[in-house]
């Protein structure tokens, strides 16, 4: 379900993915023990999204009324307990960073939300809109503000306001342009993406389709398309399949080797 523009602030995206990964891990492990269901979740989501004061109280199925920040704090508390229980002192630096940024963000949203204008999209956009309002004396329904609202999310570097803020250093980044460019064609070496990406690089004319769960080959000698499942996220890593790919320089040889179970 699409409920708004995609994030452009790198820290927003980083937090969104990191927090979601932690919550999904807790769900998978049966660790999450929160009663935060809502009888009107879609309605509440829209109400929260239209409340920059962050004071709207969501009505839960239990009858309890909480703000979105309180709900986030509950999730954060559970996530810290989960990480301590499952990882202890072996926790990786990225997980620690996500937890610390999560807590810092909630603390600042509670006390001084505009201090996050260099980190979160909605705060950055609000700061830009307020700047136009103060400078030109505009009401919230002015057409120029609607244009600015749309222009913030324009992904074209020469048009988008978020892009301009990044270029000025007003919207913080976690990556460099060089890293982003490299990531377009260089898959991570420690997931199934490496196998998929290498197949695209080595056998571009024989890959009929590629997705999260399979690579489909169209190769001579086979009457039908050959589907190679990639259902396991941690199989297909460089360590796992590089020797196999190196030993089979053509897609036809690779498919035959896989069919043999090499």
99 and 214 in a single domain? The answer is no
Does the pTM surpass 0.75? The reply is yes
53 and 106 in a single domain? The answer is yes
What is the side-by-side strand order in the sheet with 207-211? 207-211, 214-217, 226-229
Tokens for 26, please give them.
């807790």
Distance CA 34, CA 61 (A): 12
pLDDT tens per residue, range 160-185: 999 999 999 999 999 999 999 999 88
Alpha helices in the chain (DSSP H): 10-28, 41-49, 68-86, 93-111, 121-136, 143-152, 161-168, 177-185, 193-202, 238-247, 251-260
The answer as to whether 176 is a domain residue is no
pLDDT of residue 2: 58
Tokens for 10, please give them.
């790198």
pLDDT tens per residue, range 148-164: 999 999 999 889 999 99
16 and 141 in a single domain? The answer is yes
Which structural domain, as residue segments, surrounds residue 254?
187-260
Q: Is the pLDDT of residue 261 over 90?
A: no
126 and 161 in a single domain? The answer is yes
Radius of gyration of the chain from Cα atoms? Answer: 23
191 and 83 in a single domain? The answer is no
Which contacts qualify for 44-51: CB closer than 8 Å, 24 or more apart?
A: 45/3, 49/3, 49/4
216 and 101 in a single domain? The answer is no
114 and 199 in a single domain? The answer is no
105 and 211 in a single domain? The answer is no
The answer as to whether 96 is a domain residue is yes
Mean pLDDT computed over 226-247:
95
Distance CA 9, CA 122 (A): 9
Distance CA 140, CA 145 (A): 7
127 and 229 in a single domain? The answer is no
The answer as to whether 173 is a domain residue is no
pLDDT of residue 157: 87
115 and 243 in a single domain? The answer is no
pLDDT of residue 6: 81
Classify 174 as helix, strand or coil: coil
Q: Is 236 left (phi over 0), alpha (psi -120 to 50) or beta?
A: left
Distance CA 184, CA 259 (A): 30
pLDDT bracket for residue 4 (50, 70, 90): low
Distance CA 62, CA 54 (A): 21
Q: Is the pLDDT of residue 1 over 60?
A: no
């Amino acid at each position: 379900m699409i409920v708004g523009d995609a994030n452009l602030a790198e820290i927003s995206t980083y937090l969104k993915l990191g927090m979601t990964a932690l919550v999904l891990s807790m769900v998978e492990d049966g660790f999450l023990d929160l009663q935060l269901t809502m009888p009107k979740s879609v309605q509440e989501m829209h109400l929260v999204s239209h409340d920059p004061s962050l004071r709207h109280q969501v009505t839960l199925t239990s009858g309890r009324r909480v703000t979105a920040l309180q709900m986030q704090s509950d999730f954060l508390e559970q996530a810290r307990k989960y990480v301590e229980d499952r990882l202890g002192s072996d926790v990786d630096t990225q997980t620690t960073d996500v937890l610390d940024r999560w807590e810092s963000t909630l603390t600042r949203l509670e006390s001084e939300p505009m201090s996050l204008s260099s980190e979160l999209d909605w705060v950055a956009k609000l700061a830009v809109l307020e700047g136009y309002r103060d400078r030109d004396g505009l009401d919230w329904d002015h057409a120029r503000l609607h244009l600015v609202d749309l222009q913030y999310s324009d992904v074209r570097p020469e048009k988008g306001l978020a892009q301009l803020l990044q270029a000025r250093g007003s919207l913080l980044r976690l990556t460099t342009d060089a890293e982003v460019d490299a990531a377009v064609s260089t898959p991570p070496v420690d997931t199934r993406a490496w196998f998929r990406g290498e197949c695209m690089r080595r056998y571009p004319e024989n890959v009929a389709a590629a997705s999260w769960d399979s690579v489909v080959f169209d190769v001579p000698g086979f009457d039908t398309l050959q589907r190679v499942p990639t259902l396991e996220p941690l199989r297909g890593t460089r360590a796992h399949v590089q020797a196999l790919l190196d030993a089979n320089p053509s897609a036809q040889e690779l498919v035959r080797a896989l069919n043999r179970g090499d």
